[in-house]
Chain A
Amino acid sequence: MPESAPILEVHDLVKQYPAVAAVDGVSFAVPEGTCFGLLGPNGAGKTTTIEIMEGILPPTSGEVRYRGEPLGARFREEAGILFQKTALQDFLSVRQSVQLFRGLYSHGLDVDEVLEMCALEKLASRDNRKLSGGQQQRLLLAIALVNDPQVLFLDEPTTGLDPQARRNFWDLVESIKARRKTIILTTHYMEEAQLLCDEIAIMDRGHIIARGAPQQLLREHFAEVLLELPRSEFPEPARALPLKLIDASDRVEISTHDLDATLRTLIEAQVPLRNLRIRPANLEDLFLELTGKELRT
């Protein structure tokens, strides 16, 4: 199989609930050895999509193929999964929890190796209920890695972690990427997606509204820079100016490829600039541009 061949293919996936189509005709392919990000706000359908891809949730229609075949026994042996929320069996130590899952697979890594990989050696004998949020996520990642998976699903893995724990987790994911594992990641942290993902798909209301490499998407949709002004300081008449405005919750953003000209226009219109912030566009801006909504609403 060539290296760029898709390890996972999603064809016309639909998940219909009585009142809403959580996923509505989603198709994409994930090349082997890449990190693929599914982005979107809460309720966009990304967790439903990833759970169908994991074989946990049956789709209403459409299918997911792993190495060209429908999901089956081989996929279960070769997939590692970290859910958004997972409880482990009570009264087990960190090592026993990993051992339990190691026992469910015919092939995999040595328990000590996994514990070392996820920096859990010193916590091995601790009760799994007595771990901090970051330690708990590292344990769940260790469990997801215990079968030495070919494809690793991470569903919002750093939600609720403090910045330090989040950075530690990203380092871990980088080290897994370096081992040429395929990673499917859902997140609403744009920094996380930009740092880890080779390709992203942005979801909204069950549809994929943009797909590609993060930098390529930003280049396609944005000029070089964004100007940010507090909404309260942006006078209403200035909205008539020939500028590309994007409304965020507490600020107004102006996208431009000619910073000098834009600044001159604002000064001439007497827009207060003392709280002006200039920065390059990111995925958060892209989502706002595409949907008119902020990603973390």
Chain B
Amino acid sequence: MMRRLLAVWHARNLEFLRDRPTLLFTLLLPLGVVVGMGFIFGGPPRPLFKVGVLGPSLGSHANPFLHERYVQFVPIHDVTGGLYEVTHQRIDLLLDLDGTARYWVNTDSPKGYIVEKLLIVADPGARRQPVTGQAIRYVDWLFPGILAMNMMFSCLFGVGYVVLRYRKSGFLKRLHATPLTAFEFLSAQVLSRLSLILFVTVLLYLCIGAIIHFHTAGSIGLLLLLAVSGSLSMIALGLTIAARFASEELVGGLLNLLTWPMMLLSGVWFSIEGSPRWVQWIADIFPLTQVIDGARAVMLDGAGFAQIMPNLIYLAVTTFVFLAFGAWSFRWRVE
């Protein structure tokens, strides 16, 4: 038995070692993840609280509160924007140091409560301006991200592996012998997956929404448009990955390479606003970020068409680019 086991073990090792792209990928992915995590989460310890300070420059103020440790002070240029941040608990407190210090704090925010105590100790004369309005529950904030993440997995893996399986089994080769074009085939795959994803997403939206008592602030139609645009872009991305390759390991690895950074950096679980600027630039490239940002704007803030138009345009452009590249690089058969 051991001899047979070893023979199969050896043959499989040879197969793996000779599949150079997969081998290279297997070595580079973990390395990339470690290096990337180091950049994102490395460096000095992160502050515990985030306080917005109105005005162009932080350095011009001598308030002792600005010297508190473990508090990150970020400049805020206008009161309206600052209040929005406090209301949505993106910052824990908003401070105006012109003249007598005054501050806005969200009474529903636990971190706001604590950082307020620190401020009172440092500057007992500061005037309190409680923020009115409903704070966003984490579950409400998370809901659009979860829906979009589910869409992403279905788009990328659902389409990528199916096309790969068709190619390996020879079914694509058989289709190639008919008048069907690559663009027609890919479009059919996109539309088929799109209908499925929309059905599942609407179902999840209704079920989870009912369980957590969620109410969308904006237009449901707009949300649906965003879901269609986002799905199209991510399905097209999945097809681009599967357009050429015939190795499950390579395609699986490439899909993981896309899904993991998207899952971590697109703001599904936590906001990346405090991350370095370059991390935010990378995040903005991902279609998932555009979907989540747009969905949160519609679902939580009641954003209209004009506000999410940049997201929709980005998703439409990437759909076209991915689909065109996929059709160009498409292979009907295993080379």
The residues of A with any CB-CB pair to B shorter than 8 Å are 54-56, 73, 76-77, 79, 81, 83, 85-89, 101, 104-106, 143, 147
Interface residues on B, range: 10 to 19
Q: What distance in Å separates the Cβ of B294 from its nearest Cβ neighbour in chain A?
A: 35
Contact A105 B178 (CB under 8 A): yes
Q: What distance in Å separates the Cβ of A43 from its nearest Cβ neighbour in chain B?
A: 18
Q: Please give, as numbers and ranges, the residues of chain B lying within 8 Å of A55 by CB-CB distance.
A: 177
Q: What distance in Å separates the Cβ of B334 from its nearest Cβ neighbour in chain A?
A: 12
Contact B170 A104 (CB under 8 A): no
In angstroms, Cα B169 to Cα A147, docked, is 23
Q: What distance in Å separates the Cβ of A140 from its nearest Cβ neighbour in chain B?
A: 9
Q: What distance in Å separates the Cβ of B170 from its nearest Cβ neighbour in chain A?
A: 5
Q: What distance in Å separates the Cβ of B176 from its nearest Cβ neighbour in chain A?
A: 6
Contact A87 B178 (CB under 8 A): no
Nearest-CB residue, chain B, relative to A146? B178
Q: What distance in Å separates the Cβ of B236 from its nearest Cβ neighbour in chain A?
A: 22
- Report if B90 contacts A (CB, 8 A): no
Nearest-CB residue, chain B, relative to A76? B179
Q: What distance in Å separates the Cβ of B251 from its nearest Cβ neighbour in chain A?
A: 18
Contact A56 B178 (CB under 8 A): no
Nearest-CB residue, chain B, relative to A147? B178
Counting from the closest, the 8 A-B pairs by CB-CB distance are A87-B169, A104-B178, A81-B177, A76-B179, A86-B174, A87-B171, A87-B170, A104-B180
Contact A105 B177 (CB under 8 A): no
Contact A83 B178 (CB under 8 A): no
From residue 156 to 189 of chain B, which have CB atoms closer than 8 A to chain A?
A: 166, 169-171, 173-180
Q: List 13 A-B contacts (CB under 8 A).
A: A56-B173, A56-B176, A56-B177, A76-B177, A77-B179, A83-B177, A87-B169, A87-B171, A88-B174, A89-B171, A101-B178, A104-B175, A106-B179
- Report if B333 contacts A (CB, 8 A): yes
In angstroms, Cα B178 to Cα A106, docked, is 11
Give 13 A-B pairs besides A56-B176, A104-B175 with Cβ atoms closer than 8 angstroms.
Answer: A55-B177, A56-B332, A56-B333, A76-B179, A81-B174, A81-B177, A83-B173, A86-B174, A87-B174, A89-B171, A105-B178, A105-B179, A106-B179
Contact pick for B179, options A73, A85, A86, CB 8 Å:
A73
In angstroms, Cα B181 to Cα A76, docked, is 11
Q: What distance in Å separates the Cβ of B333 from its nearest Cβ neighbour in chain A?
A: 7
In angstroms, Cα B332 to Cα A56, docked, is 9
In angstroms, Cα B170 to Cα A67, docked, is 28
Contact B178 A54 (CB under 8 A): no
Nearest-CB residue, chain B, relative to A77? B179
Q: Please give, as numbers and ranges, the residues of chain B lying within 8 Å of A76 by CB-CB distance.
A: 177-179
Contact A86 B180 (CB under 8 A): no
Q: What distance in Å separates the Cβ of B54 from its nearest Cβ neighbour in chain A?
A: 62
In angstroms, Cα B169 to Cα A108, docked, is 26
Q: Please give, as numbers and ranges, the residues of chain B lying within 8 Å of A89 by CB-CB distance.
A: 166, 171
In angstroms, Cα B171 to Cα A101, docked, is 12
- Output the residue of B166, B173, B175 with the most chain A CB within 10 A: B173
In angstroms, Cα B333 to Cα A73, docked, is 20
In angstroms, Cα B177 to Cα A79, docked, is 8
Nearest-CB residue, chain B, relative to A101? B178
Nearest-CB residue, chain A, relative to B185? A104
Q: Please give, as numbers and ranges, the residues of chain A lying within 8 Å of B333 by CB-CB distance.
A: 56
Nearest-CB residue, chain B, relative to A106? B179
Q: Please give, as numbers and ranges, the residues of chain B lying within 8 Å of A83 by CB-CB distance.
A: 170, 173-174, 177
Contact B170 A86 (CB under 8 A): yes
Contact pick for A86, options B171, B178, B332, CB 8 Å:
B171
In angstroms, Cα B162 to Cα A87, docked, is 13
Q: Please give, as numbers and ranges, the residues of chain A lying within 8 Å of B173 by CB-CB distance.
A: 56, 83, 86
Q: Please give, as numbers and ranges, the residues of chain A lying within 8 Å of B180 by CB-CB distance.
A: 104
Q: Please give, as numbers and ranges, the residues of chain B lying within 8 Å of A87 by CB-CB distance.
A: 169-171, 174
Q: What distance in Å separates the Cβ of A136 from its nearest Cβ neighbour in chain B?
A: 13
- Output the residue of B170, B179, B333 with the most chain A CB within 10 A: B179
In angstroms, Cα B254 to Cα A138, docked, is 39
Nearest-CB residue, chain A, relative to B180? A104
In angstroms, Cα B170 to Cα A56, docked, is 12
Contact pick for A104, options B169, B179, B332, CB 8 Å:
B179
Q: Please give, as numbers and ranges, the residues of chain A lying within 8 Å of B332 by CB-CB distance.
A: 56
Nearest-CB residue, chain B, relative to A55? B177
Nearest-CB residue, chain A, relative to B176? A56
Q: What distance in Å separates the Cβ of B192 from its nearest Cβ neighbour in chain A?
A: 12
In angstroms, Cα B180 to Cα A83, docked, is 17
Q: What distance in Å separates the Cβ of B332 from its nearest Cβ neighbour in chain A?
A: 8
Q: What distance in Å separates the Cβ of A98 from its nearest Cβ neighbour in chain B?
A: 13
Q: What distance in Å separates the Cβ of A54 from its nearest Cβ neighbour in chain B?
A: 6
In angstroms, Cα B178 to Cα A105, docked, is 7
In angstroms, Cα B165 to Cα A87, docked, is 10
In angstroms, Cα B176 to Cα A56, docked, is 7
In angstroms, Cα B173 to Cα A88, docked, is 11
Q: What distance in Å separates the Cβ of B71 from its nearest Cβ neighbour in chain A?
A: 59
In angstroms, Cα B270 to Cα A227, docked, is 86
Q: Please give, as numbers and ranges, the residues of chain B lying within 8 Å of A147 by CB-CB distance.
A: 178
In angstroms, Cα B178 to Cα A104, docked, is 7
In angstroms, Cα B180 to Cα A105, docked, is 8
In angstroms, Cα B157 to Cα A205, docked, is 43
In angstroms, Cα B122 to Cα A78, docked, is 87
Cβ contacts B315-334/A at 8 Å (1 or 0 each): 00000000000000000110
- Output the residue of B166, B169, B176, B177 with the most chain A CB within 10 A: B177
Q: Please give, as numbers and ranges, the residues of chain A lying within 8 Å of B171 by CB-CB distance.
A: 86-89
Nearest-CB residue, chain B, relative to A140? B174
Nearest-CB residue, chain A, relative to B177? A81
In angstroms, Cα B334 to Cα A56, docked, is 12
In angstroms, Cα B178 to Cα A73, docked, is 9
In angstroms, Cα B173 to Cα A86, docked, is 8
